[in-house]
Structure 1
Amino acid sequence: MPICTTCTTSVPFLYTVYTSSHNLRLHQCPNCHNFADPYVEHDSLAILLDLILLKRGVYRHLLYNRGADPRRYVADKIPESTPTKTSGEMEKMRWLTILRFGGPLVCVDAFIRWSHLNPNQPADISPWTKETMFALFRTLVGVSVETIAFHVGVMCTCLLVLGLADRLHHTVTVSDIRREFRFSLIPLTLFYSSLTKLFLLFLLTIWRPSPSSSAFLDLDREWVMRNMLGGMSATFGLRVVLDSHPSLTIVIIIAGWGVKTAVAQLVSRWVGGDEQMGEAWLAYSIP
């Protein structure tokens, strides 16, 4: 069931569609009296910008309301009930979205990291040699393994933390957003949260600092964007989904970082190709 993006109250539908699919009316939340989901009328660019700016409402729209069926006006009569997608169908849609959305993001992340580890390419030859393509492939494999490890670590920690929290607070009324919680929301949230850091890292890859600036400061900028800003964004996204205290989401992210660090140490030598590049990979990857 969809939720209000303002107060997270469950609503039966988000909008009513009339004769034309472009003729619709947004549903008003009975609890806060705001529109249940104004993002229904927003285009993809506005939604993307709000994702980069970490707006709480756009997370709720994409995670809980995306794909929800509207109420339809048929033959001058609004039916009392409208067929909606089952919980299993919504879950399947989320996992398909994870595959469609996560794959390109992992590729972008691999290209950014490969560009950082191989900044000085000769100008008189093509950068797409056999060696560079193989280095890019190794980077893609390493980023994919690290991403999976981070997501698995976060999901397992969420399972433990939420189970413990439910046992300690079993008498507390469960909120609507927690009632609609599914574990497919966690990797989807982490991918959405990574847009902010990837956007800034991609800009830094295109427009690198001037050669007069210190290489240490250059590395520090990218490390801060990837780990500090990325960690803050992931913590914010999980806070929206889990509806829990911020300290719990911080613990979950740290646990995910721990799993990612262990995996990065295992694959760094192979991804880097030699000991020096492996150490550079670790310095760039580990928080």
Structure 2
Amino acid sequence: MPICIECRYPVKTLYTSYSKADDRSLGKGVRLTQCPRCKRFADKYVEHDYVILFINLVLLKPEVYRHLLFNRLNREEGRFDKSVLRLGLLLTLFDVYLTWSRIEKLPLPPTSPCPTSSRTNATLLNTYPLILPYLFFLTLVVTSTFIVHVIIRTLCSISHYSRFGRNQTSMRKVWGMLLPYYPHPTRISTALFISSSTKLFPLAMMIWNYDLPSAATAVSWAVIVNNIAALEILMDCGYLKAGVLVGVAAVARRVVAGGLLWVAGLGTGEGEGVVGLGF
């Protein structure tokens, strides 16, 4: 059931169409539903285009997140909207480019097969056919992202009432204080994908020459902030719980990414860039 994006109150419909000949995307032939609780329009973004939605996403407007997560996407519980899948694919492919560009500029680790202080990881990567480094970084990004989603979805699916017995009241209180309970994993992943659209900002680096490691690090931290805000808006759990979720997932991703890079002889990703913090 859709909700009012202002006060989260459930409503039956978001609008009423009274003329099929007009275009709803232009706001014609549509009468927006008024929320019975707050007396404001239940969802004003019904008649707004994607440009307005994206601008409000960047500004972290809670209303636009509620519009996307509750009223436009995930209408069928447990199934991803096709646009979310396309966004996830786009973010993954672009993350491969960012990660590859950042890692190849880092110095070779001492344990590398060709250790030289004046060389970078690009020296080692260039010894392989182009398809092999691409497949490696694709595996790195997909695995790291999978770890993040699994951890956050799993932690949110565990109720502190069922996790601890009556004799563990203190542990139950701590768990409930730090972690939220939200048994809707598809919406959680959708919120993470949408809030990670900040990753697309470095597209400007293809036109202007920026300092890639610094830009990638800034984007990673921006994605973390957006993820925390998106989870807080989705679950209405407060920034502390959302921050704990994202923090635990970020650490796990950092460990997994560093381990894969170390096995490949590319170090652990430490240096000028921060690997594995963005989603």
The CA deviation string for residues 248-274 of structure 1, in whole angstroms up to 9 with x for no partner, is 11111111112212321332235xx43
1:222 equivalent in structure 2: 216
Listed as ranges, the matches of 1:98-247 within 5 Å are: 98-118=84-104, 131-160=129-158, 163=160, 182-196=184-198, 198-204=199-205, 206-209=207-210, 219-226=213-220, 228-247=221-240
Secondary structure of 2:80's counterpart equals helix
8 Å Cα contact 1:181-1:241 kept in structure 2: no
Gaps of 5+ in 1: 69-88, 121-127, 169-177, 210-214
Q: 1:164 to 1:108 in 2, by over 3 A?
A: farther
Secondary structure of 1:16's counterpart equals strand
8 Å Cα contact 2:156-2:182 kept in structure 1: no
8 Å Cα contact 1:157-1:255 kept in structure 2: no
In 2: Cα distance, 1:9 partner to 1:151 partner: 28
The answer to whether structure 1 residue 55 and structure 2 residue 56 are counterparts is no
In 1: Cα distance, 2:8 partner to 2:87 partner: 25
1:274 equivalent in structure 2: 265
8 Å Cα contact 1:189-1:238 kept in structure 2: yes
2:120 equivalent in structure 1: none
C-alpha deviation, 1:10, in angstroms = 0.7
Letter of the structure 1 residue corresponding to residue 19 of structure 2: T
Secondary structure of 1:229's counterpart equals helix
8 Å Cα contact 2:258-2:269 kept in structure 1: no
The CA deviation string for residues 33-72 of structure 1, in whole angstroms up to 9 with x for no partner, is 111111110112221222222221111111100169xxxx
Superposition RMSD on alpha carbons, in Å? 3.3
Letter of the structure 1 residue corresponding to residue 42 of structure 2: A
Secondary structure of 1:94's counterpart equals coil
In 2: Cα distance, 1:283 partner to 1:165 partner: 41
1:285 equivalent in structure 2: 275
Correspondent of 2:77 among 73, 91, 95: 91
Q: 1:254 to 1:281 in 2, by over 3 A?
A: same
Q: 1:254 to 1:33 in 2, by over 3 A?
A: same
C-alpha deviation, 1:92, in angstroms = 4.6
C-alpha deviation, 1:32, in angstroms = 1.2
Secondary structure of 1:191's counterpart equals helix
8 Å Cα contact 1:154-1:253 kept in structure 2: yes
Letter of the structure 1 residue corresponding to residue 266 of structure 2: E
Secondary structure of 1:284's counterpart equals coil
Secondary structure of 1:275's counterpart equals coil
8 Å Cα contact 1:63-1:189 kept in structure 2: yes
8 Å Cα contact 1:117-1:280 kept in structure 2: no
8 Å Cα contact 1:5-1:61 kept in structure 2: yes
8 Å Cα contact 2:69-2:187 kept in structure 1: yes
Secondary structure of 1:285's counterpart equals coil
Greater helix proportion? 1
Secondary structure of 1:3's counterpart equals coil
Gaps of 5+ in 2: 24-28, 107-125, 170-179
1:36 equivalent in structure 2: 42
C-alpha deviation, 1:284, in angstroms = 3.1
In 2: Cα distance, 1:284 partner to 1:248 partner: 23
Q: 1:130 to 1:48 in 2, by over 3 A?
A: farther
Secondary structure of 1:25's counterpart equals strand
Q: 1:116 to 1:206 in 2, by over 3 A?
A: farther
The CA deviation string for residues 173-216 of structure 1, in whole angstroms up to 9 with x for no partner, is xxxxx9996221111000011112x133333454233xxxxx7x
Aligned positions, number: 238
Letter of the structure 2 residue corresponding to residue 9 of structure 1: Y
1:252 equivalent in structure 2: 245
In 2: Cα distance, 1:52 partner to 1:192 partner: 10
2:117 equivalent in structure 1: none
